[in-house]
Amino acid sequence: QTVVAAEILPGGVVGRTALAKSSGHDTLDSAALDAIKTWKFGTESEKDEVVPQYVDIPVTFKLEER
């Protein structure tokens, strides 16, 4: 499992990302970071002003043989 720390900007787009916990595999860690950068989130406002949110997102990979 990889854990990605992400900043969610006003409008729900992902800002900065960082690896909070490595899966131990660079390829999986990079895939998790790249995927989360494409996500869009719903945002909540604080006093009618949208503020950035900071979240840790766990990403679990299930690998199957072909």
Taking only the tens of pLDDT, the chain with its 66 residues reads: 999 999 999 889 999 999 999 999 999 999 999 999 999 998 666 666 668 889 999 999 998 998
pLDDT at 18: 98
Q: How confident is the model at residue 49, as a pLDDT?
A: 67
Nearest to 55 by CA among 1, 10, 11, 14: 14
Burial class of 48 by CB neighbour count within 10 A (0 to 12, 13 to 18, 19+): exposed
pLDDT of residue 11: 86
Name the pTM for this structure: 0.83
